[in-house]
Amino acid sequence: MALEHFHDVTNTRQPADQNTASAFMLADVEVRPDSLLLIVGGAHRRVEPRVMDLLVYGSKRAGQLLSRQKILEDVWGETHLVPEALQRVISLLRKSLGDRRNEPIFIETISSKGYRFLLNPEPLPEAGAKDVKLTEKSVRSSPLALLIAALVLVLLTWFVANQLSREEAWAPQADGESSSQEGEGVPPPAADD
């Protein structure tokens, strides 16, 4: 019964935080409040509106101890909901983020007190301003990047070797003659008498 009431509250009231929230990063998780989407390790995960409401609210207050009562009041405007309703939303959020209660990365539970969101949100890089960052993980996970890097290395090695062999072929000898092998068997030009 409490969950039904909780559901009704979230459908009738849109929190102020979500109305104005733009996309952001939490560690390596991309959060898109407007589309109720989390991108975790490249996987797209849709979440319920109440889950996103809580994530946006908590992220903006990272490091603060948030009591259950305060969360219920600030996020959904309700104080008479049972704690189990909030616990369910926290559980769904943890599952979506890949977080664990025993070893939290995103949300810490403080027994009998409330919750603490651990990470500050970071703005998303601009779409046109994204830098290409080759990390060990991205190279391992991208065989195409590895193939391109190997091809560039082979071409560069060939080019350098080709340039060095040309310089050696036309380098002047100590006696003033060219060491070009193309001129083998051809007598040197006659001196003018």
| Span 117-143, average pLDDT | 67
Rounded Cα distance between 147 and 41, Å, is: 22
Helix, strand, or coil here: 153? Answer: helix
CA 97 to chain centre: 14
22 in Cβ contact with 30 (< 8 Å): no
Instruction: Sort 47 into a burial class: Cβ within 10 Å, 0-12 / 13-18 / 19+.
Output: buried
56 in Cβ contact with 33 (< 8 Å): yes
Considering the domain 2-123, what is its CATH architecture? Orthogonal Bundle (1.10)
Rounded Cα distance between 32 and 22, Å, is: 7
pLDDT greater at residue 99 or residue 9: 99
Residue 177 clears pLDDT 90, i.e. is over it:
no
* pTM exceeding the 0.75 threshold for the entire prediction: no
Looking at residue 155, its pLDDT comes to 84
Residue 35 clears pLDDT 80, i.e. is over it:
yes
